Amino acid sequence: MKSVNVAIVGATGAVGVQMLETLEKRNFPIDNLYLMASSRSAGKTIMFKGKEYIIECLSETSFKDKNIDIALFSAGASSSKEFAKYAVESGAVVIDNSSAFRNDDDVPLIVPEVNAHAIKNHKGIIANPNCSTIQMVVALNPIHKKFGIKRVIVSTYQAASGAGLTAMEECEQQMRQLLDGKTVTVEKFAHQLAFNLIPQIDVFMDNGYTKEEMKMVTETKKIMEDNNIEVSATCIRVPVMRAHSEAINIETQKPITAKEAREEWENSEGIIVVDNPENKEYPMPFFCAGKDEVFIGRIRKDISIENGLAFWCVSDQILKGAALNAIQIAEEIIK
């Protein structure tokens, strides 16, 4: 792989920090590295591979005359909408972690294990899917290829850090306040999350689903390039720090057994099957946090339908659900 110039926009956020760690861990071939963030974080310094970097304030001219090859955006949809175009104009390929461009027809929405081939269609911007969608399509894809998926019903158990580092800290603070019998502070989430569940992630749409739930519908169809896959999602925030979990029921066109599904997953890239009920072994978010793969367990034939499967899927949503997936896309680009 050739060495390239890389910019990270939103370098101090949960995903930005993880991108830096992942770039270092995977020894991504970086020539020059530029770190950018909002004015709030500009001027701060961050260490990368033993070298100190000063965070630049993101502006229209941030990308000019720097020959940036790849700009990893993770500073929210409004920042992406405002500034991605300047990165593209400067000649960079933008890999955008926000929802800003995911549904645009000329923006590929990529999970490398599923649709790396679509990267080449980009016109300057490639979108990184929503975290809960990424881990699900990694799990669905090998099954879809062999058995044909007609319908997916998914209920999520999403970690606090999906709402950012400060949200995760708030959940921890709430726990402490509750255990100490103090009044609970609620700022980052709509409601108290400690010892509670919040059945709302993102805003509500007209059809009664939340935007997060509809992302799982539209993004799954786009990434898997099949508009006939029907999806219904219920997205729930749970008091877990890191790693999203999903209970998934699928209906397939062809008959499927738990054993067949397991074999497909065991031979698929980016997936680790943890499914030994007799030893009480199955994926759990506390123990999947900080790991790269999508973990699958509780694999069983769905007894409520002729051709169906039920399973449980856990993955670190800051890694495979965001930072790692973006960098895997970057790796595909410089191949």
d(CA 183, CA 234): 30
| Known catalytic membership, residue 57 | no
- Residue of the chain from 27, 39, 45, 207 that contacts a copy of itself (CB under 8 A): 207
With respect to a copy of itself, which residue has the nearer C-beta, 115 or 232?
232
Long-range interactions of 196-202: CB distance < 8 A, separation 24+: 196/239, 197/236, 197/237, 197/238, 197/239, 198/236, 198/237, 199/234, 199/235, 199/236, 199/237, 200/235, 200/237, 201/156, 201/158, 201/162, 201/235, 201/236, 201/237, 202/235
- Residue of the chain from 179, 182, 226, 290 that contacts a copy of itself (CB under 8 A): 179
Asked if 88 touches a copy of itself (CB under 8 A), the answer is: no
| Known catalytic membership, residue 131 | yes
Burial status of residue 307 (CB atoms within 10 A of its CB: 0-12, 13-18, 19 or more): middle
Tokens of 160: 């606090």
With respect to a copy of itself, which residue has the nearer C-beta, 28 or 157?
157
d(CA 89, CA 265): 41
Residue 216-255 contact track with a copy of itself, rule CB under 8 A, x = bound: -x------------xxx-x-x-xxxx---x-x-x------
d(CA 30, CA 16): 16
Asked if 34 touches a copy of itself (CB under 8 A), the answer is: no
Least separation in angstroms between CB 68 and a copy of itself = 38
- Counting residues that bind a copy of itself (by CB under 8 A) gives 57
Residue 153-172 contact track with a copy of itself, rule CB under 8 A, x = bound: x-x-x--------------x
Asked if 300 touches a copy of itself (CB under 8 A), the answer is: yes
Burial status of residue 160 (CB atoms within 10 A of its CB: 0-12, 13-18, 19 or more): buried
89: left (phi over 0), alpha (psi -120 to 50) or beta: alpha
Q: Is the dihedral of CA 178, 180, 183, 186 positive or negative?
A: negative
Least separation in angstroms between CB 225 and a copy of itself = 18
From the list 43-51, 55-63, 86-94, 300-308, the region that binds a copy of itself by CB under 8 A is 300-308
Residue tagged active-site, from 122, 144, 171, 244: 244
Least separation in angstroms between CB 168 and a copy of itself = 10
H-run or E-run covering 5: strand 4-9
Applying the rule CB under 8 A, the residues between 310 and 329 that interact with a copy of itself are 310, 312
Residue tagged active-site, from 131, 171, 235, 313: 131
Closest CA to 233 of 214, 206, 207, 251: 214
Least separation in angstroms between CB 133 and a copy of itself = 15
Site residues, a copy of itself (CB under 8 A): 151-153, 155, 157, 172, 175-176, 179, 190-192, 195-200, 204, 207-209, 217, 230-232, 234, 236, 238-241, 245, 247, 249, 258, 277-278, 280, 282-287, 297-305, 308, 310, 312
Active-site annotation, residues: 131, 244
